[in-house]
Amino acid sequence: MIKFLIRIVLVTSVVSIFLYYFQPQSIFFENDLKRIVEKNKVTFVTRLGPTTYYEIKNKKFGYHYSIMKEFADFIDVELSIKVVNNIADARKMISSREADIISGWNVVDLGQDIKTSYPYNRVDYVIVAKSNISRRSNIEDKLLNNDIHAIESDVITNVDTNREKKLKYSYKIWQDKNIDDLLRMLNDNEIIFLLMSSDEFKILSKYYRDIKVVQRHSVNEAEYWVLPYDVGSDLQNKISEFFNVMIDNNRLAIIYRNFFGQQQHTFVGSKIFIKDLVEIFPTYEFFFKEASRLFNFDWKLIASIGYQESRWKKDAVSYTGVKGIMMLTKDTAREVGVEDRKDPKESIFGGVKYLRTIYNRIDYDLDDKEKIWFAIAAYNIGLGHVEDAIKLAASDGVEIRKWSDIEPYILMLSQSEYYRQTKYGYARGWETVKYVKNIKQYYDIIVFLDSQDKDVDEKDQEIPKTLWVT
């Protein structure tokens, strides 16, 4: 009996050593692609953020998300997204096959447990500060004497160039916050320096105009998908094939340009707006006025929304896939009976009808003049997110009466401390606040010019008919 037990122990030891050194688990995963196809689902793990993944009106968006979706379509399966807050959890998920691929993290320390795909994008990492800091002549002293804050990324601990210079700075790495959280801290003067990617800066600097680059941390850092080290060769080869196709048809460049090349939600300035008001608006003025009359809105406000959405371009197309003057989604167009989203009349009437639907669904005790701004915000971000913001305010004991009451809570929807408490989760609240602000500015200009026209008309009426030139 003792000899039998000894043999069992010896056999177990040998098997354990074999498993440890030769890792035959790859045998079980060599058919990763077959498993994905049979389950009809590829699962990516990522994090929430303005460049990675987010939702608007129950639709998923994001630069990195768009490439994930292209791959799912390429292999003809459904796309599943799982969100985690740190790299360690993401690595565990692909190792156990709870997820197939990591996207949206700059994992430089590859180690023994992961591989990477083709580097489909490259970014610089920049240190930013508010403009009052960036203009100072002693900026180097400031960098030496203050922490540089960053979300979790391997690029900080793996700088190949200028290593001595970079390591003398002190970095504070946050594993439980996203880039929106840190930007809010920077904006509120809780921190002085923030590290972000150049792509994040391209988007966020449009809405936070006071942030400036003070120094470049690293350049040309690769962004790629991360795969388990024992990934099956079939899946690896299919990913390589996918990126070859994306490069050949220029699809990667098109997706990048759609997300980072547009100036959406940027105020164009009074001169350009007035020029467009004179040259473009008269073509669609009748439709705006008729639709506003039909659905009981101020035409000047509806025209302002249309300009913010598309600058009154009938063939406008956003990176999110919305189209036309009022930028309708396919689902919204179907809901309001629009067949051709690029038809100016259909788009304007459909957009105003949709706005009226949203307005009527807002069941809060608000003055009509304030309620419209809530509806306009929902037109942009979705009513669910607006309701989330109202509930956040209620949890703070704040009674929402006007738009300015809810603005801070709209902004909170991008901050992890708050969006984790909500039903609809992360939203680019800063984008919606800017959206509403721009519309108010366009509206004020139209109201002013319209009042001037009325004054002129009234004065014309006062001129004696004998002096009129015919």
Residue 49 per-residue DSSP state: B
Q: Are 319 and 261 in contact (CB under 8 A)?
A: no
Amino acid at residue number 73: D
Q: Which of 229, 202, 224 is nearest to 213 (CA)?
A: 202
End-to-end CA distance of the chain: 123
Q: Which runs of consecutive H residues, i.e. helices, occur in 55-175?
A: 63-74, 87-95, 131-134, 139-145, 163-167
Beta strands in 107-183 (DSSP E): 114-116, 121-130, 148-151, 171-174
- Asked whether the CA dihedral 303, 306, 311, 316 is positive or negative, the reply is negative
Q: Give the whole-angstrom CA distance, residue 246 versus residue 252.
A: 6
- Report which secondary-structure segment, H or E, holds 60: strand 59-61
Checking DSSP bridges between strand 193-197 and strand 148-151, what pairing results, if any?
parallel
What's the distance, CA 452 to chain centroid?
40
Q: Which of 152, 221, 309, 346 is catalytic?
A: 309
Buried b or exposed e, range 210-235, using 16+ CB within 10 angstroms: ebbbbbebbeebebbbbbbebbbebb
Burial level of 22, CB count in 10 A (0-12/13-18/19+)? exposed
- Report which secondary-structure segment, H or E, holds 371: helix 368-381
Q: CA 182, 187, 188: angle at the middle one, nearest 5?
A: 95
Q: Which residue has the tokens 């890792």?
A: 23
Q: Give the whole-angstrom CA distance, residue 341 versus residue 211.
A: 37
Token pair for 381: 């971000």
Read out DSSP for 237-275? HHHHHHHHHHHHTTHHHHHHHHHHS--TT----HHHHHH
Is residue 309 annotated as a catalytic residue, yes or no?
yes
Q: Which of 164, 148, 411, 453 is nearest to 282 (CA)?
A: 453
- Active site members: 309
